[in-house]
Structure 1
């Protein structure tokens, strides 16, 4: 049961960080109304936390590798709380932007360490499901922000909204500090850790590259779904937004299902490869729907928004397992950095293509990149998954006999397996 509490704490930490990071866009109208900002200025202010996040992910991962997950998450969220509280008290948009950037940098601790916490507490046969659940923190955070922030910003302004983010981060910081524990380390797990830099092999780089490519269809679908439904299908903004709530539910469910699938088949990369083909097909169908609109077009867009999120948890789990415990924090920091850069560049670059050539060409490009990712995803599995498959094949009785022959105990299925 303890590992499930660690999963709940890691998911809660990531959820409040996402509520802050993805909730700021919902203050756009308030910023324009109260401060007379242009959309360009609003976009610049909203981007400040993401800039801080991207610049510090790897550093926070290195700290998690060195000092453990609990301290990194707790201190990072505590710093985020203080910086956001100061942001709610300052006057002027420049000081606010600086504090938001620093708060984003502090919140990167959660992205770098919460996944490492989850991976460390679960065995290879449960880890895909656990990371899939942890990855639902993004749609959860976006959902909380969508429900609360617009009304709060209209009533209390930017300061009230920033203080709300601070309160959420503060509560979860206290919970993590009081209840979380770093994953136990056994003599066997320590012996399994890689002696050399795992980046000397190409597998980790290929996971990072393919995952970044798969971010393009994900953010192509999610960033342009509403305007696509309005422009191409004639939906109203209200009804399009209501329809897209379904896509967020599908996105969360697809991460969990994909994670469980990877546990069942004993592979992270094989489901990831097959899903990349499915994503390419669905995005291609969405492109065709842009050329020949019909009610089927609405369905393909919703499916696209859901399935394009399915590979996120698989990529993070594969990254942690290939890197091993000693390097997993830094590796997931690199993974997060690549995904955030792809996510940041996709809307403006693809938006330019859509503006000049139409939705069909933009979605076609996203489909091509998803198909390319299929060929980049490596075939190498981590030792943790190989050991897990061997345990399933030979059974518990043979394991006990083998352990006696070796003069040591084998870990149970519930023990954390930190393979290299």
Structure 2
């Protein structure tokens, strides 16, 4: 936990230190589960050609289909978080992935914008379970001095899910059409549903942690961590940091092809390198936070670096701008794990599921608003104002973060 997070809602250490091997197995399962879910939720853009050819959809209609899983995820996040706090991680993961598998399997057999859109939204809502539950696995199984690294590893699931989708969906769709690609993600989700049901073990809960802590634990109602402003400020800062991340992620390839005149294939390969760097940066930032005993101090430094690099993108010409772009792909994603760890530690075991759901909701809302807004800004005024706005968001995140330096206890 952190010095700015102490109080009646602070997380309580597990009654005993769980075996190291079990901790890492649980982390691996949680990361794999979220990777499987995100291969669909964030891999939908790779289905656009198949949707247009197989369902005769316009580009605008295909864009609506791409948004359906994210819309479902946003609507269901808090409910899954509350279920996790009440019933534990194992069955929330397994049931959520199982429902996503059923919805995706149903999508294999239907046609049309409405039917597919509804099933994709249901799959996204069901897949939202992994965002709350697998984060609590980290909080419950890992001691404070390892949680930054563990959450950084878990947060690699986003770029890894996008990487799986980028590698697998286009060739499968080309060979077997839309149904083949949807069946692939359904099987991926189904396999992880079975593995989580069989092998995930809910972490030990302290006596005040709710379900699993005995009769007295069920009767005690831990106070809400939202009585103060600290959690809200971390939520706000992390949402602001999503803006530069998605500005670069959504328009980096277009910037390379339109402004730097790169071939599309080479630009895609460079952006893939940026996603690999993003995964490495999330792990590195988490390890850094463990080493210095703080989640928010590294967030401030990384936010400043992202702001400077993004501002540089607005003014630096030629090859140096390409280097800045790759660095931004990595660094702009590096703070996700830090903010998630800080939120989980501040919320404590009894509120972590709901707090992480709120955290995910804010980030996904920003991720949904950023591409159309930035696209309109680029169309009207060019890339420099768009990168300038992203830099302002990164600086704003530093200002929104709680003022006290949070240290791990």
Counterpart of 2:231 (choices 204, 227, 234) is 204
Q: What's the CA shift for 1:131?
A: 0.3
Q: Which residue of 1 aligns with 2:293?
A: 266
Q: Which residue of 2 aligns with 1:376?
A: 400
Q: Which residue of 2 aligns with 1:358?
A: 382
- Rounded to whole Å, the distance in 2 between the matches of 1:35 and 1:85 is 17
Q: What's the CA shift for 1:54?
A: 0.3
SS in structure 2 of the partner of residue 233 of structure 1? coil
How many residues end up aligned between the 2 structures? Answer: 382
Give the unaligned 5+ runs of structure 1: 388-420
Q: Which residue of 2 aligns with 1:169?
A: 189
Q: Which residue of 1 aligns with 2:128?
A: 108
TM-score computed with the length of structure 2 as normaliser? 0.91
Q: Do residues 218 (structure 1) and 245 (structure 2) align?
A: yes
Q: Do residues 39 (structure 1) and 59 (structure 2) align?
A: yes
- Rounded to whole Å, the distance in 2 between the matches of 1:186 and 1:44 is 44
Q: What's the CA shift for 1:251?
A: 0.4
Q: What's the CA shift for 1:381?
A: 6.8
- Rounded to whole Å, the distance in 1 between the matches of 2:147 and 2:286 is 8
Give the unaligned 5+ runs of structure 2: 1-20
Q: What's the CA shift for 1:36?
A: 2.2
Are the counterparts in 2 of residues 10 and 114 from structure 1 also a CA contact under 8 Å? yes
Q: Which residue of 1 aligns with 2:137?
A: 117
Q: What's the CA shift for 1:38?
A: 1.2
Structure 1 range deviating more: 33-42 or 119-128 = 33-42
Are the counterparts in 2 of residues 65 and 330 from structure 1 also a CA contact under 8 Å? yes
SS in structure 1 of the partner of residue 43 of structure 2? helix
Q: What's the CA shift for 1:91?
A: 2.9
Q: What's the CA shift for 1:34?
A: 2.3
Q: Which residue of 2 aligns with 1:134?
A: 154
Counterpart of 2:222 (choices 195, 210, 217) is 195
Q: Which residue of 2 aligns with 1:14?
A: 34
Per-residue CA deviation, residues 202-243 of structure 1 (Å, 9 max, x unaligned), is: 000000000010000000011110010111111010111111
Counterpart of 1:94 (choices 114, 129, 135) is 114
- Rounded to whole Å, the distance in 1 between the matches of 2:155 and 2:121 is 23
Tell which structure's C-alpha radius of gyration is larger.
1
Q: What's the CA shift for 1:245?
A: 1.4
Q: Which residue of 2 aligns with 1:180?
A: 200
- Rounded to whole Å, the distance in 1 between the matches of 2:55 and 2:62 is 10
Please tell me the root mean square deviation across aligned C-alpha atoms, in Å: 1.7
Counterpart of 2:337 (choices 313, 317, 322) is 313
Q: Do residues 329 (structure 1) and 349 (structure 2) align?
A: no
